[in-house]
């Protein structure tokens, strides 16, 4: 169905793709894997018609394709569901699904009733029941995902490209999605499935292609390749163990953070937890359980409506980020682009961010000192960039995340909170970040890690606290830390 | 808060304010409440309403049109200048002026798309160009308008002021356009998230041509109305309308970044502003204080609107 031959694409200073060839057959689900920065996003945008390749040819449905816009690609049957979604928050579900292809009545005017009706039907076919008039901004992320996929179903789609479709859904919704994909495959539609979750790639794909550093490493039939082999193709080296060793004494430090009956708005109802020095505590739960709100509240970014926070020996009923930083706390936020990085600045500025006083001499910023600090961190964490003056926006997600972690790791003395630290990050960078976390913990910092990836939770945590709807439903240690127990607590009705 | 209330909060807010002004007015003077005064206010809203309707469309698409004031000056001068007292010329000149306004709007849209520059800059520049062209044509009041033409501003149709009625009809047409034309819905989408709109393949060119074209048309209509009202076109007559056209848009519930709002709110808000001015006249407040009062309303309204935005 789709054949790419020798595709190359460069941006100023960066060669995103060189000579990539790929073939997606009809009636096939083809997986595309690779580290961040491997070129997957660029390839997708070329397939979608958003970028034009510098070199190479594209063949779609046995005809050469030179798309000048996403609109043209769509007309030919190529639909892309992007990781960041291309939804319109103020418009309704039905409007989002049919935007650009609104059902019309005989006069050529938009038929709103039909739009709503057909939207509801499409969603039901995907196994989702949503109010077609609901504003998309009011939906959960998982529901928004379904709206995106429903939108792709509107037209006769020949090639469906899914970019990290399961990044924000789990369990039942993933199963439903896969079921739908299998049905599409049976009807002759081709699917290009991009994902970091190798288990899922093995579960649903027929073949898989590996990209690394903008080049094609290889394409294999799913039955003929093993997970470790795939990983080594992606990373180019043997990773060994992904998760660092857990010291036996991890849980025995003194408490560095304690909360008592903390409530934050209506997302966090009543949280009393304790974090000890040297410990990595994972905060698990479904999307919407209130974990991110708790993290923001602990750091002072959201106001606490009830309860107290105790950091070390000091107790507070209200806290601010400035105060939190003074107390030696750090927060790696969930969305690095909008909440963590200064996207228009360079690496050095992003590292020195919270501690400008440190690089200020007589009222002026000492750029050389700032650069030296950044260079030190770049080397220490193996951050891939051209130097301390590299613009942060041009770096891959994994490296951007390393910059943020480096920023806080430098100044954190007591508590480091990380919200989904390895989301959307390649395996190589993941391993690095895990290593950094454990090193910090061994140095006496208490680490609170919010994560929705259960392998990560099980692999990293000394203790697991599970939240649901703003309350703690349970705590797990040692042998009790299993996927099943965590999921049970994350979805159970009983509070601890 | 029930959903219908939340979705129309700004409309209800404006209507509440209108009610409040009437209550205060009732205390100040009983002539304020008279039907004649209502028609009076209705009539005085015409110019602001006409230009703000076009501005609403542009803002909905995520842009802004700062060329409106100069375009109004130009069209009003051309109207009285070209007709110059000759009743036979009325229809062709009216048609030509409306066409000119629309074309200027289309040029604005074309520049935004071709040059990849923010509409604020493009329309600001266009406004300066248009003002220059106006002054090239006339340095002072120019031409005159024949007796029949004044009917546009002072005439009545079914007992209602003609100009204002045209404004209302125009906004109804545009509201229908927004609701029932596929391109109408796409205006909201482009305003809501321009990047998503591009990725989904929406025809941004057509959308922008439509909104800026309509804005240009509305400016030309305003220019025609002003020529009819004053009997003569003046080169600086439109100067205040640029910023003034944004107030009813914001007050009426359209968000400045686009994607949410509509013309009904704009129309009501324009009426509110005229009504408020009317009240201040009844209270014998000097014109200068009136400007201050208007500014305070804007600040108050926008701060309420900002609170609302943050809640979402």
Contacts of A276 (CB under 8 A, 6+ apart): A251, A252, A253, A254, A255, A256, A446
Instruction: Write out residues 153-192 of B within 8 Å (CB-CB) of A.
Output: 179-182, 184-186, 188-189, 192
Calculate the average pLDDT of chain A.
Answer: 85
pLDDT of residue B311: 45
Rounded Cα distance, A61 and A275, in Å: 57
Name the residue among B185, B195, B196 with its Cβ closest to that of A95. B185
Complete DSSP assignment for A203-257: HH-SEEEEEETTEEEEEEEGGG--HHHHHHHHHSS----SSPPPPTTGGGS-EEE
Complete DSSP assignment for A382-441: T--SS-TTSBGGGS-HHHHHHHHHHHHHHH-SSEEEEESTTTT--HHHHHHHHHHHHHHH
Name the residue among B196, B203, B312 with its Cβ closest to that of A87. B196
pLDDT of residue A371: 92
Q: Which of B8, B62, B185, B193 has the most A C-beta neighbours within 10 Å, making it the best mutation to test the interface with A?
A: B185
**3-class DSSP state for residue A468?**
strand
| DSSP-assigned beta bridge partners for residue A78 | A159
- Min Cα separation A379/chain B (Å): 36
For residue B12, is it within any domain? Answer: no
Mean pLDDT along residues A294-304 = 91
Asked if the C-beta of B198 comes within 8 angstroms of chain A's C-beta atoms, the answer is yes
- Min Cα separation B6/chain A (Å): 12
A109 with B180: Cβ contact below 8 A: yes
- According to DSSP, the β-strands at A78-81 and A159-163 are parallel
**3-class DSSP state for residue A39?**
coil
Element of type H or E holding A153: helix A141-153
pLDDT of residue A274: 92
Residues A71 and A120 in one domain: yes
CATH number for the domain that contains residue B292: 1.10.3470
pLDDT of residue A397: 76
For residue A496, is it within any domain? Answer: no
pLDDT of residue B149: 85
Which whole-number Å values give the CA distances from A474 to A361, A450, A460, in the listed order? 49, 15, 18
Nearest to A91 by CA among B254, B191, B180: B191
pLDDT of residue A496: 43
Mean pLDDT along residues A271-295 = 88
| B309 has a pLDDT exceeding 70 | no
ipTM of the complex: 0.79
Mean pLDDT along residues B148-154 = 83
Q: Which residues of A66-91 are buried (b: 16+ CB within 10 A; e: fewer)?
A: ebebbbebbeebbbbbbbebbbbbbb
Rounded Cα distance, A448 and A469, in Å: 19
Asked if the C-beta of B193 comes within 8 angstroms of chain A's C-beta atoms, the answer is yes
Nearest to B231 by CA among B42, B101, B85: B85
Q: Report residue A210 as tokens.
A: 């590996």
pLDDT of residue B168: 93
Which whole-number Å values give the CA distances from A307 to A265, A281, A300, A304, A447, in the listed order? 12, 21, 13, 7, 21
The proportion of chain A whose per-residue pLDDT surpasses 70, expressed as a percent, equals 95
Asked if the C-beta of B200 comes within 8 angstroms of chain A's C-beta atoms, the answer is yes
For residue A151, is it within any domain? Answer: yes
- Residues of chain B contacting A104 with CB distance shorter than 8 Å: 182
Contact B63, B254 (CB under 8 A): no
Mean pLDDT along residues B132-142 = 92
Rounded Cα distance, A127 and A112, in Å: 23
- Residues of chain A contacting B181 with CB distance shorter than 8 Å: 109-110
For residue B240, is it within any domain? Answer: yes
Task: Tell me how crowded residue A240 is: count the other CB atoms within 10 A of its CB.
Answer: 6
Highest mean pLDDT (candidates A120-134, B9-23, B168-182): B168-182
Rounded Cα distance, A398 and B25, in Å: 64
Domain total for chain B? 1
Contact B86, B237 (CB under 8 A): no
Contact A474, A467 (CB under 8 A): no
Residues A273 and A198 in one domain: no
| A411 has a pLDDT exceeding 70 | yes
Q: Over the stretch A375-409, which tens digit does the pLDDT of each residue have?
A: 999 988 888 888 898 898 888 778 888 999 999 98
Length of chain B: 312
**3-class DSSP state for residue B178?**
helix
Query: What residue of A is the nearest CA neighbor of B192?
Result: A88
Q: Report residue A180 as tokens.
A: 């739908």
For residue B29, is it within any domain? Answer: no
Nearest to A206 by CA among A4, A41, A23: A23
pLDDT of residue A495: 44
Q: How far from the centroid of its chain's Cα atoms is residue A459's Cα?
A: 18
For residue A308, is it within any domain? Answer: yes
| Domain boundary residue, one of A210, A235, A260 | A235
Mean pLDDT along residues A459-475 = 89
Name the residue among B179, B181, B199 with its Cβ closest to that of A82. B199
- Residues of chain B contacting A102 with CB distance shorter than 8 Å: 182, 185
Query: What residue of B is the nearest CA neighbor of A79?
Result: B200
For residue B131, is it within any domain? Answer: yes
Q: Lowest-pLDDT range, A97-106, A326-335, A411-420, B175-184?
A: A97-106
For residue B15, is it within any domain? Answer: no
pLDDT of residue B312: 43
A89 with B180: Cβ contact below 8 A: no
Contacts of A226 (CB under 8 A, 6+ apart): none
Number of H helices, E strands in chain A: 16, 23
Residues A230 and A340 in one domain: no
- Min Cα separation A30/chain B (Å): 22
Name the residue among B195, B200, B312 with its Cβ closest to that of A99. B200
- According to DSSP, the β-strands at A190-194 and A215-221 are unpaired
The rounded radius of gyration (Å) of the Cα atoms in chain B is: 19
Mean pLDDT along residues B171-185 = 91
- Min Cα separation B177/chain A (Å): 9
Q: Over the stretch A50-88, which tens digit does the pLDDT of each residue have?
A: 888 888 888 888 888 888 888 888 888 888 888 777 899
Rounded Cα distance, A196 and A401, in Å: 16
CATH number for the domain that contains residue A61: 3.40.50.300
| Domain boundary residue, one of A178, A202, A235 | A235
| A483 has a pLDDT exceeding 50 | yes
- Domain range for B291 is 36-278+286-305
- Residues of chain A contacting B186 with CB distance shorter than 8 Å: 99-100
Residues A115 and A197 in one domain: yes
Query: What residue of B is the nearest CA neighbor of A108?
Result: B181
Q: Which of B61, B184, B188, B199 has the most A C-beta neighbours within 10 Å, making it the best mutation to test the interface with A?
A: B199
DSSP for residue A104: B
Mean pLDDT along residues B262-271 = 92
Mean pLDDT along residues B122-131 = 96
Rounded Cα distance, A171 and A453, in Å: 12
Q: Over the stretch A252-266, which tens digit does the pLDDT of each residue have?
A: 788 889 999 999 888
For residue B156, is it within any domain? Answer: yes
Longest dimension (CA), chain A: 75
Complete DSSP assignment for A281-303: EEEE--TTSSHHHHHHHHHTSS-
- Residues of chain A contacting B189 with CB distance shorter than 8 Å: 88, 91, 95, 99
Structure confidence at residue B305 as a pLDDT band (50, 70, 90): low
Complete DSSP assignment for A42-93: HHHHHHHTSS--SEEEEEETTEE---SSHHHHHHTTEEEE-TT----TTSBH
| DSSP-assigned beta bridge partners for residue A17 | A9
A109 with B181: Cβ contact below 8 A: yes
pLDDT of residue B6: 63
| A240 has a pLDDT exceeding 80 | no
- Domain range for A264 is 250-491
Q: Over the stretch B55-101, which tens digit does the pLDDT of each residue have?
A: 999 999 999 999 999 999 999 999 999 988 888 888 999 999 999 99
Contacts of A314 (CB under 8 A, 6+ apart): A327
Q: Which residue has the higher pLDDT, A374 or B295?
A: A374
- Min Cα separation A192/chain B (Å): 17
- Please count the residue pairs, one from chain A and one from chain B, whose beta carbons lie less than 8 angstroms apart: 71
Rounded Cα distance, A99 and A87, in Å: 10
Contact A271, A437 (CB under 8 A): no
Contact B50, B244 (CB under 8 A): no
Structure confidence at residue B7 as a pLDDT band (50, 70, 90): low
For residue A243, is it within any domain? Answer: no
A100 with B312: Cβ contact below 8 A: no
Give backbone dihedrals phi and psi of A249, rounded to 5 degrees, phi first: -90, 15
pLDDT of residue B268: 93
DSSP for residue A444: T
| A168 has a pLDDT exceeding 70 | no
CA atoms within 13 A on the CB side of A200: 25
Residues A298 and A421 in one domain: yes
Residues A167 and A279 in one domain: no
Asked if the C-beta of B119 comes within 8 angstroms of chain A's C-beta atoms, the answer is no
Query: What residue of B is the nearest CA neighbor of A96?
Result: B189
Asked if the C-beta of B196 comes within 8 angstroms of chain A's C-beta atoms, the answer is yes
| B290 has a pLDDT exceeding 80 | no
For residue A245, is it within any domain? Answer: no
Highest mean pLDDT (candidates A126-135, A421-430, B110-119): B110-119
Query: What residue of B is the nearest CA neighbor of A104?
Result: B182
Full-model pTM: 0.74
Rounded Cα distance, B111 and B12, in Å: 37
- Residues of chain A contacting B202 with CB distance shorter than 8 Å: 71, 99-100
Q: Report residue A302 as tokens.
A: 């959201």
pLDDT of residue B86: 86
Mean pLDDT along residues A269-297 = 88
Contact B155, B93 (CB under 8 A): no
Mean pLDDT along residues B178-200 = 89
Q: Report residue A377 as tokens.
A: 């961190």
For residue B203, is it within any domain? Answer: yes
Residues A416 and A373 in one domain: yes
| Domain boundary residue, one of A181, A200, A235 | A235
The rounded radius of gyration (Å) of the Cα atoms in chain A is: 24
| B38 has a pLDDT exceeding 50 | yes
| A42 has a pLDDT exceeding 90 | no
| A448 has a pLDDT exceeding 90 | yes
Rounded Cα distance, B214 and B175, in Å: 12
- Min Cα separation A407/chain B (Å): 29
DSSP for residue A426: -
Domain total for chain A? 2
Rounded Cα distance, B95 and B91, in Å: 6
For residue B301, is it within any domain? Answer: yes
- Min Cα separation A109/chain B (Å): 5
């Amino acid at each position: 169905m789709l054949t790419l031959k020798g595709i190359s694409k460069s941006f100023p200073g960066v060669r995103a793709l060189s000579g990539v060839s790929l073939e997606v057959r009809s009636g096939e689900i083809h997986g595309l894997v690779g580290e961040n920065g491997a070129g997957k996003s660029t390839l997708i945008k070329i397939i979608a018609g958003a970028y034009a390749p510098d070199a190479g040819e594209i063949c779609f449905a046995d005809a050469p394709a030179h798309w000048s816009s996403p609109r043209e690609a769509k007309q030919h049957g190529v639909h892309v569901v992007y990781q960041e979604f291309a939804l319109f928050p103020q418009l309704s579900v039905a409007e989002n699904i049919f935007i650009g292809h609104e059902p019309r009545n005989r006069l050529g005017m938009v038929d709103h009733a039909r739009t709503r009706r057909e939207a509801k039907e499409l969603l039901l076919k995907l196994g989702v029941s949503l109010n077609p008039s609901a504003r998309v901004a009011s939906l959960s992320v998982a529901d928004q995902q379904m709206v995106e996929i429903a939108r792709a179903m509107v037209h006769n789609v020949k090639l469906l490209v899914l970019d990290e479709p399961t990044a924000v859904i789990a369990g039942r919704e993933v199963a439903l999605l896969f079921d739908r994909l299998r049905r599409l495959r049976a009807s002759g539609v081709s699917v290009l499935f991009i994902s970091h979750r190798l288990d899922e790639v093995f579960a649903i794909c027929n073949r898989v292609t590996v990209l690394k550093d903008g080049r094609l490493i290889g394409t294999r039939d799913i039955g003929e390749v093993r997970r470790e082999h795939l990983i080594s193709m992606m990373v180019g080296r043997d990773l060994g163990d992904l998760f660092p060793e857990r010291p036996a004494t991890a849980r025995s430090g003194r408490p560095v953070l304690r909360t008592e009956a903390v409530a934050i708005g209506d997302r966090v109802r009543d949280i009393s937890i304790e974090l000890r020095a040297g410990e990595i505590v994972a905060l698990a739960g479904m999307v919407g359980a209130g974990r991110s709100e708790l993290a923001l509240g602990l750091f002072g970014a959201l106001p606490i409506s009830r309860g107290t926070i105790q950091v070390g020996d000091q107790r507070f009923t209200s806290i601010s980020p400035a105060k939190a930083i003074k107390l030696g706390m750090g927060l790696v936020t969930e969305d690095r682009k909008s909440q963590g990085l200064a996207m228009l600045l360079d690496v050095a500025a992003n590292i020195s961010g919270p501690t400008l006083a440190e690089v200020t001499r007589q009222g002026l910023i000492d750029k050389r000192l700032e650069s030296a600090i950044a260079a030190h961190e770049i080397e220490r964490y193996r951050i891939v960039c051209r130097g301390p003056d590299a613009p942060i926006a041009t770096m891959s997600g994994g490296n951007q995340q390393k910059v943020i972690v480096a920023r806080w790791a430098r100044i954190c003395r007591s508590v480091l909170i990380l919200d989904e630290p390895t989301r959307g990050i390649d395996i190589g960078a993941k391993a690095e970040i895990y290593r950094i976390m454990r090193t910090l913990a061994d140095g006496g910092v208490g680490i609170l890690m919010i994560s929705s990836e259960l392998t990560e939770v099980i692999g990293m945590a000394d203790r697991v606290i599970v939240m649901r709807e703003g309350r703690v439903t349970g705590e797990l240690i040692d042998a009790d830390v299993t996927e099943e127990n965590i999921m049970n607590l994350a979805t159970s009705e009983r509070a601890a | 808060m029930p959903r219908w209330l939340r979705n129309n909060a700004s409309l209800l807010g404006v209507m509440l304010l209108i009610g409040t002004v009437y209550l205060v007015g009732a205390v100040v003077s009983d002539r304020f409440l008279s039907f004649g005064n209502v028609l009076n206010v209705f009539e005085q809203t015409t110019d602001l309403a006409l230009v703000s309707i076009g501005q609403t469309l542009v803002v909905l698409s995520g842009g802004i049109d700062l060329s409106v004031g100069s375009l109004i000056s130009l069209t009003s001068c051309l109207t009285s200048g070209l007709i110059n007292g000759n009743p036979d010329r009325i229809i062709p000149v009216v048609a030509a002026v409306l066409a000119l306004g629309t074309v200027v709007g289309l040029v604005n849209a074309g520049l935004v798309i071709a040059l990849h520059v923010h509409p604020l800059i493009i329309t600001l520049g266009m406004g300066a160009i248009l003002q220059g062209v106006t002054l090239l044509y006339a340095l002072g009041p120019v031409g005159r308008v024949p007796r029949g033409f004044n009917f546009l501003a002072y005439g009545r149709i079914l007992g209602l002021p003609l100009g204002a009625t045209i404004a209302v009809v125009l906004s109804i047409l545009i509201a229908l356009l927004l609701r029932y034309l596929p391109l109408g819905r796409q205006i909201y989408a482009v305003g809501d998230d321009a990047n998503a709109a591009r990725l989904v393949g929406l025809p941004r060119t057509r959308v922008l041509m439509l909104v800026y074209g309509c804005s240009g048309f509305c400016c030309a209509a305003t220019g025609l109305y002003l020529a009819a009202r004053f009997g003569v076109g003046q080169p600086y007559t439109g100067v205040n309308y640029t910023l003034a056209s944004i107030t009813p848009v914001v007050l009426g519930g359209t968000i400045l970044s686009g994607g949410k709002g509509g013309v009904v709110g704009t129309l009501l808000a324009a009426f509110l502003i005229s009504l408020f001015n009317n009240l201040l006249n009844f209270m014998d407040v000097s014109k200068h204080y009136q400007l201050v009062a208007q500014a305070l309303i804007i600040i108050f309204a926008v701060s309420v609107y900002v609170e609302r935005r943050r809640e979402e």
